[in-house]
Amino acid sequence: NTADPPVAVETLDDVPEHVLRGLPEDVRLFPSAVDKTRLGVWATKSILKGKKFGPFVGDKKKRSQV
């Protein structure tokens, strides 16, 4: 009988403090609707098209790196 190894679940403890501090007021991190083992970004109210957030803090990554 081969049991699948436990799946690691991403939690808020895995998110660097500067990321949490830099979230816009109406944005939260909750379990992803796409992948329950990961965190997703959720808006608590509608965000207008073209709304800009910043400043960006951290390392920019290519899509293939995330």
Predicted TM-score (pTM) of the model is: 0.63
Residue type, 58: G
3-state secondary structure of 47: coil
**Residue 38: per-residue pLDDT:** 94
Residue 55: asked if its preceding bond is cis (omega within 30°), the reply is yes
- CB atoms near residue 58 (< 10 Å): 9
Greater pLDDT, 1 or 22: 22
**Residue 65: per-residue pLDDT:** 86
User: How far apart, in whole angstroms, are the C-alpha atoms of residue 46 and residue 43?
Assistant: 7
Q: Over the stretch 14-66, which tens digit does the pLDDT of each residue have?
A: 998 888 888 888 899 999 999 999 999 999 999 899 888 777 667 888 889 87
**Residue 66: per-residue pLDDT:** 78
